[in-house]
Amino acid sequence: MAHWVRVTELDRCPPGAALECAVEDHVIALFNVDGTVYALDGVCPHQGGPLGKGCLAGRIVTCPWHGWQFDVSTGEHQVSRTIRQPNYAVRIEAGAVWVDLGSPPDAPATGE
């Protein structure tokens, strides 16, 4: 069942930016790629680093702790295809970013 929550104002995550947000009991990492906002589970599956504080280059975010890289549009790890960070549906409404926490992420993260 969908559970849309308002995460932040869109202008806090402009194109090219990453942003960490805590909402309910989730840490969400938002990424704005040329005006399209993506949301991943914000806790890196390696050792819990903050993906929302990572460096975003195009669609690739680099975890600030040890450099694991993920495609923010899919959650796919860039080296190991067996690792996929959970992602969430996003919608923009009246200048705010909403994320659906109710739908299960499309793939579970698996650490190595």
Smallest distance, ligand FES to C-beta of residue 65, A: 4
Choice between 37 and 63, CB closer to ligand FES? 63
Chain residues binding ligand FES by CB under 6 A are 44, 46-49, 63, 65-68
Are the beta carbons of 18 and 12 closer than 8 angstroms?
Answer: no
Smallest distance, ligand FES to C-beta of residue 66, A: 3
Smallest distance, ligand FES to C-beta of residue 9, A: 27
Both tokens assigned to 64 = 């600030």
Choice between 15 and 48, CB closer to ligand FES? 48
C-alpha dihedral over 8, 10, 16, 18, to 10 degrees?
0
Rg (CA), the chain: 13
Choice between 3 and 66, CB closer to ligand FES? 66
Residues 6+ apart with CB under 8 A from 66: 46, 47, 49
